Amino acid sequence: MSSTEHRTEPDTAAPPRDTPSQHVAYHPSAREYIRVGLLLVALTSIEVMLSYSSLTGVKLIASLFLCTIIKFVLVVGYFMHLKFDNGRFSRVFALGAIGAFTLYAVVLLMFGVWRTS
Amino acid sequence: MAADVHSEIEYTSTGLRSTKLAMWLFLASECLLFGGLITAYVLYRGQSTSGPYPQDVFDIGYTSVSSFVLLASSLTMVLSHNAALARDYARMRLWLLATAMLGLCFVGGQVFEFTSFFREGLTIHTNLFGSTFFLLTGFHGVHVTVGILMLLMLVAFSFRGSLSDEPAFPVEMVGLYWHFVDIVWIVIFTVVYLIPAPAPHGAV
């Protein structure tokens, strides 16, 4: 099947309602994506090494969560394009993510999970 | 024809494309779903009165490989979207298939892991750890499977030429879902597998 089966129009022939607010203004190149991917692999490797290290308790959990948060932000920011997309999408997602984190952190505190762990 | 298709695209009053806004709202609601499942796991994993316990069954090395596979699938997904934006549809299909294959590897790995846990005596009925673990990772596995089906449908539609005139958009939407599944796994991997479980209930 030919790769030109879809209609290909010149970039200048944008649809009438095509405004900057509807599209990602900037898309990273494949090379940038690969760099982000390698960074994710490196961070995951660090996490696995930390789990086998002599670190324990709060230090281990804090180090693991730091790596997790960086990985989360990299995927959401670059792979899901929130870094380059309309800010409203970021706010919608942040509402869910931060709302869920806050809600369940309160639940865990109420049940005293930090004391039992 | 292009004008007809674009005239069917619905925008919200904010000027944002309604499909994309709906996808982000859906993903935001999914945060609450997985947040609840992860919280239930954290609350109950140390409360089991009988084994097997997490430290008896987990194989961090094996699960790490699964994590690398899912991370790689996120990279191939975003490369597929890049190819779609560049109107290189042959490459777009190739990356979509690669993503689906990596997803299948992940799900296959999860099935193998579940099977080995069954053999070691851990089922969803065994104890609180088993119930919350299988519920959480099972839900995630179902999400990955749905993602694989969506990827394969995109490839099929692309071969039939029935994708919209703007194929990058459906690829982006499926990509958002796929990356979300990836970030959920990033959290599960840390919370479930890497953070050591508390001592079994009643243990000294």
Residues 1-30 of A with CB under 8 A from B: 1, 3-9, 13, 15-19, 21-22, 27, 29-30
Domain that includes residue B153, residue range: 47-194
B10 belongs to a structural domain: no
CA of A33: how far to CAs of A28, A36, B46, B61, B103, in Å?
A: 7, 5, 39, 26, 19
Q: Is B17 helix (H, G, I), strand (E, B) or coil?
A: strand
pLDDT value, residue A19: 46
Distance CA B135, CA B40 (A): 10
Residue A3 in this model has a pLDDT that exceeds 70: no
Cα B36 to chain centroid, rounded: 16
Does B112 fall in a domain?
Answer: yes
Residues of chain B contacting residue A117, judged by C-beta atoms under 8 Å apart: 46, 198
Looking at residues B190-201, what average pLDDT do you find?
83
> Does residue A115 have a pLDDT over 70?
no
CA distances for B179 relative to A3, A95, B6, B29, B66, angstroms:
26, 18, 26, 15, 15
B178: domain CATH number is 1.20.120.80
Where helices occur in B15-88 by DSSP H, the ranges are 18-44, 54-57, 60-85
pLDDT attached to residue B9: 65
To which H or E segment does residue B145 belong?
A: helix B128-160
Rounded to two decimals, the pTM is 0.86
Of the candidates B100, B10, B147, B175, the one whose C-alpha atom is nearest the C-alpha of residue B167 is: B175
Considering only CB atoms, B28 lies closest to which of A29, A86, A93, namely A93
| B171 interaction partners in chain A (CB closer than 8 Å) | none
State how many domains chain B has: 1
